[in-house]
């Protein structure tokens, strides 16, 4: 049986071309490249230099476009995105610490 992270792995695989991302989001290639330049999105590059995006990147781009339309600046967006990433990292670290403590406790009892 696949775990939650295995089921969601497809969300993070960088397999979508910029043309398809444009079709999915309604954004132009120029807008997407601008968001990349402003360090809001991080596509992978193929050996030929073509950008590849994930489904998660598509969602992020749509959020960015909505917030930009509402008047948010790219610098504000970058700070907000960094804060979210930091919070996810903190949560994962806490989870690992708790698992480690539980493992140590139950292994000590054996």
Same domain, 15 and 65: yes
Task: Give pLDDT, residue 1.
Answer: 45
Task: Give pLDDT, residue 43.
Answer: 95
Length of the chain: 110
Block means of pLDDT (10 residues each) for the chain, length 110 residues? 64 94 96 95 95 95 94 91 77 80 74
The residue range of the domain holding 38 is 1-72
Cβ–Cβ under 8 Å, residues 58 and 23: no
> Residue 23 maps to which CATH number?
1.10.1660.10
Give CA 28 to chain center in angstroms. Answer: 20
Same domain, 37 and 59: yes
Nearest in space to 40 (alpha carbons), one of 75, 86, 83, 88: 75
Task: Give pLDDT, residue 109.
Answer: 64
Q: Would the pTM of this model clear 0.75, i.e. be above it?
A: no
């Amino acid at each position: 049986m696949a775990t939650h992270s295995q089921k969601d792995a497809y969300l993070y695989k960088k397999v979508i071309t910029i043309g398809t991302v444009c079709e999915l989001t309604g954004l132009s290639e120029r807008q997407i490249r601008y968001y990349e330049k402003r360090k809001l999105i991080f596509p992978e590059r193929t050996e030929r230099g073509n950008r590849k995006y994930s489904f998660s990147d598509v969602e992020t781009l749509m959020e960015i476009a909505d917030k930009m339309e509402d008047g948010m600046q790219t610098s504000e967006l970058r700070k907000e995105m960094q804060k979210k990433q930091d919070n996810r990292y903190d949560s994962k670290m806490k989870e690992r610490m708790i698992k480690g403590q539980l493992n140590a406790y139950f292994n000590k009892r054996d």
